[in-house]
Amino acid sequence: MKLKPLLLILLFLALTSSSSSAPLPNDAAALLHFKSKADLRNQLNFSPKSSSAFCKWKGVECSDSRAIRLIGEDLQLGGIFAPNTLSQLAELRLLSLQNNSLTGPIPDLSDLVNVKALFLNRNYFSGAVPPSLSALHRLKTVDLSYNMLAGSIPASLNGLDRLYYLRLDFNRLNGSVAPLNQSSLQIFNVSHNDLTGAIPVTPALSRFNSSSFC
């Protein structure tokens, strides 16, 4: 007789807590982690309370309940793009964070193995062009223009044989232009940097005139 109320309480607790103890989808956890570091002005509506419906969050598009696109443009996102956040979205095809106020380095993105298009232009990213980009073999479009990136253009980008669009203009890159030579390259711009030396003579780069380089 004494146990019955206790059992009822336990049953009640088990039933009411079941929704909040459902495991957080990994993609939702990655998006929330990103927001916690990148969105200090609280412009994104990502919330732990709606994490089971993360596919309806602003800018998130899913396929088979996995995030395949994240478009967070023109939002005045202010903060950093922390490592091990969006890079955990293994099914992501398109990531655009263009025209925000993100600072600090671009993190290692080598886990974004499916990404085809990356727009991180018009922010305040500093540090290097991440060498990890060279591991993303599906990349077609990379726009890192209008940032504060320094150091050299990784020659390893030459391994991206589907690269169609590469914009690195308006940064602080130095050293020489990497001898890129993928026949896929159609849009290329490294102007307004601190690059020195002769433009490498490759069939791919010879398609572009001086406005791509200075």
Ligand X SMILES: *[C@@H]1O[C@H](CO)[C@@H](O)[C@H](O)[C@H]1NC(C)=O
* 183: contact with ligand X by CB under 6 A: yes
Distance from CA of residue 60 to its chain's centroid? Answer: 13
Query: Is residue 31 within 8 Å of residue 59, measured between CB atoms?
Result: no
* 96: contact with ligand X by CB under 6 A: no
Query: Is residue 121 within 8 Å of residue 146, measured between CB atoms?
Result: yes
* 150: contact with ligand X by CB under 6 A: yes
Residues from 64 through 93 that contact ligand X (CB under 6 A): 74, 76
**CB-CB neighbours of 64 under 10 Å:** 7
Q: Which stretch binds ligand X (CB under 6 A): 33-41, 45-53, 59-67, 179-187?
A: 179-187
Q: Which of 43, 99, 132, 134 binds ligand X (CB under 6 A)?
A: 99
Nearer to ligand X (CB atom), residue 67 or residue 190 = 190
* 189: contact with ligand X by CB under 6 A: yes
Nearer to ligand X (CB atom), residue 114 or residue 202 = 202
Q: Which stretch binds ligand X (CB under 6 A): 10-18, 78-86, 103-111, 206-214?
A: 206-214
Distance from CA of residue 152 to its chain's centroid? Answer: 20
Helix (H, G, I), strand (E, B) or coil at 204: coil
* 179: contact with ligand X by CB under 6 A: yes
Whole-angstrom CA distances from 167 to 95, 114, 137, 157, 191 are: 15, 20, 17, 12, 9
Q: Which of 55, 126, 175, 199 binds ligand X (CB under 6 A)?
A: 175
Separation between Cα atoms, residue 174 and residue 105, nearest integer Å = 17
Q: 77: buried, middle or exposed (CB in 10 Å: 19+, 13-18, 0-12)?
A: buried
* 104: contact with ligand X by CB under 6 A: no
Residue 177 gets which letter from DSSP? P
Residues from 31 through 50 that contact ligand X (CB under 6 A): none
Q: What type of residue is 75?
A: L
Minimum CB–partner distance for residue 72 and ligand X (Å): 11
Q: Which of 72, 79, 169, 171 binds ligand X (CB under 6 A)?
A: 169
- Positions touching ligand X (CB under 6 A) are 74, 76, 99, 150, 169-170, 174-175, 179, 181, 183, 189, 191-192, 202-203, 209, 211-212
